Amino acid sequence: MQKRFRGYIFSRSFNNERVPQYVQNLVIRDFCYKKNFIFLLSKSEYSMENSYSILKYSLTELKKIDGIVFYTLMMLPNERNLRYFVYKNFIKLKKTLYFALENQKISSTKHIDYIEEILMIKKTLNYSLKEF
């Protein structure tokens, strides 16, 4: 049986970038196609800064699907506690959280440190580039 994954996209900028929603959806759909997943229509987060209402709501759907595919890991919440809340929901339910742009995933606790390290590096680089 094919696994079913919901897309998760932003309607606001992230990491000082703005990617049109249709482009985010194309990347996620292609990612799912290459992994032979059924792509479920993406949910788009509200445009207000630091809003993760749609993501929190999507976590309640995890019992019915195999996981969620984010366009990029840069869409993870800035607040550490909220990020870990998201991670733990996936791990507890034995679901997978994918990041299409980076081709990375979280399906066990061993993946969290690696994702956190990538996130820290990307944010540090972005901050350093602002100085130029």
Model confidence pLDDT, tens digit, residues 35-79: 999 999 999 999 998 899 999 999 999 999 999 999 999 999 999
Domain containing residue 104: CATH number: 3.40.50.1390
Tell me the helices (H) and strands (E) count for the chain, helix number first. Answer: 4, 5
CA distance 54 to 98: 17
- Taken as a whole, the chain contains a residue count of 132
Model confidence pLDDT, tens digit, residues 11-21: 998 877 899 99
**Joined tokens for residue 97:** 């959280």
User: Counting beta carbons within 10 angstroms of the beta carbon of residue 16, is it exposed (0 to 12), middle (13 to 18) or buried (19 or more)?
Assistant: exposed
Sheet holding 4-10, edge to edge: 38-45, 4-10, 67-70, 96-99, 104-106
Q: Considering its fold, how many domains does the chain have in total?
A: 1
Look up the domain containing 68 and give its range: 4-130
